Amino acid sequence: MTRFHHVFSVLCRLCALLPGAVLLFLVGFLLQQSRGRLDLQLLFGDTPPLDALIHFAPVWDGIWPACFGTFCVVALAGIVAVPLGILCGIHLSEFARGRFRTMLSFCVDLLAGMPSILMGLFGFALILFLRHTLLPDAGTCLLLSGFCMGLLVLPYMVNATYSSLSGLPHDIRLLGPSLGLNRMQTIRHILLPSAGRGILSGLVLSLGRAAEDTAVIMLTGAVANAGMPRSLLDKYEALPFYIYTTAAEYQTPEELKAGFGAALVLLILTTGLFLAAHLLHNAMERRWRQG
């Protein structure tokens, strides 16, 4: 092995270790900074946890409403982005041709590069428009945040679906037609399951982005101390917003510790969502493989 190859392989190994090292450092840092505040009181304050979880009792000093709000935003964003993104990706890969495909692909890339604050402004402008036209009582709310967040992460789903489908080998593309399957059967029963892992990566990326983004929710419905949202049209709390406001306005070291604790909870929540996505994918794949 030449010296260059040796240096190159060591460099690659170091770079491969870097993400793990950064994650470990981050978790360690958050644990250290939030030491003493990582308890049920951080989540539920003085409210008994079971009352908060089962009877939706109000939680005043804990981040449980923010956890619930974040979960709702992520779920709503998923409801918007996953079906739309997969369908759009299928269209781009399997049906769109020539200049139309180039144009559509360009629009998706443009949307992917859009700063999230612009999407927040779009949501805000949409509410203003609705107030002046169809819905005079419309206001920023959980539903609007979920919708705008869905639009923000839509390009990840589109690109993941498109690139995983178009990257499938030609052999597997010919298999369906050669057996007499029609186009829809080929896509549904052969191509989509074969591209499942790539689509899952897009889903994980989308969920992560939807859970952490603050700019969109700031302008579309997240507020401090809103409590649990009573409906989709209510204001709500969210973890990223809580972390942002705590970091900017904390009065005591205890509050800052709670902010770090909330960051760790957000990390755990995101990891939980990733795990759920993996389990869902594995279950679907098992069903496909074994019938």
Partner 1 sequence: MTPPVSINNLTVSFDGTPVLENVTFKTRPGELTVIVGRSGSGKSTLLRAVNRLNECFPGCSTTGEVQLALHDGQLDVYSATTCPEHLRARAGMVFQSPNILPVSIARNMLLPQKLVRNVTGRSAEEKMRHMLERVGLLEEVHDRLGAPAATLSGGQQQRLCLARALALEPEILLLDEPTASVDYRSARRIEELLLSLKNELPMLVVSHSLPQTQRLADRVLLIRKGRLVGEWHRGQANAEADFEKMLSTTF
Q: How far is the CB of 98 from partner 1 (least distance, A)?
A: 10
Phi then psi for 236, rounded to 5 degrees?
-155, 170
CA dist 183 and 175 (Å) reads 11
> Strand, helix or coil at 278?
helix
190 binds partner 1 (CB under 8 A): yes
CA dist 122 and 111 (Å) reads 12
**Span interacting with partner 1, options 106-114, 180-188, 200-208, 265-273, rule CB under 8 A:** 180-188
> Of these, 33, 163, 166, 185, which contacts partner 1 (CB under 8 A)?
185
Alpha helices in 167-252 (DSSP H): 170-179, 183-186, 192-194, 196-212, 215-220, 239-249
The number of residues that bind partner 1 (CB under 8 A) is 20
Q: Yes or no: say if 266 and 209 are a contact pair by the CB < 8 Å rule.
A: no
- According to CB under 8 A, which residues from 217 to 276 bind partner 1? none
**Angle CA 54–55–57, to nearest 5:** 120
Distances (CA, A) of 12 to 16, 20, 26, 234: 6, 14, 22, 49
Q: What's the one-letter identity of residue 47?
A: T
> Of these, 3, 55, 99, 289, which contacts partner 1 (CB under 8 A)?
289
117 binds partner 1 (CB under 8 A): no
> Of these, 164, 194, 214, 270, which contacts partner 1 (CB under 8 A)?
194
Distances (CA, A) of 225 to 123, 180, 222, 255: 22, 59, 9, 14
181 binds partner 1 (CB under 8 A): yes
**Span interacting with partner 1, options 55-63, 78-86, 116-124, 173-181, rule CB under 8 A:** 173-181
Site mask, partner 1, residues 68-107, x = CB under 8 A? -----------------------------x----------
Q: Provide the CA 108 distance to its chain's centre, in angstroms.
A: 17
173 binds partner 1 (CB under 8 A): yes
Helices (H) and strands (E) in the chain, counts: 14, 0
27 binds partner 1 (CB under 8 A): no
> Of these, 12, 13, 139, 178, which contacts partner 1 (CB under 8 A)?
178
180 binds partner 1 (CB under 8 A): yes
Handedness of CA 174, 175, 176, 178 (dihedral sign): positive
179 binds partner 1 (CB under 8 A): yes
**Span interacting with partner 1, options 45-53, 58-66, 172-180, 215-223, rule CB under 8 A:** 172-180
> Of these, 13, 132, 189, 278, which contacts partner 1 (CB under 8 A)?
189
Name the residues that contact partner 1, by CB under 8 A.
Answer: 97, 171-175, 177-182, 185, 189-190, 194, 288-291
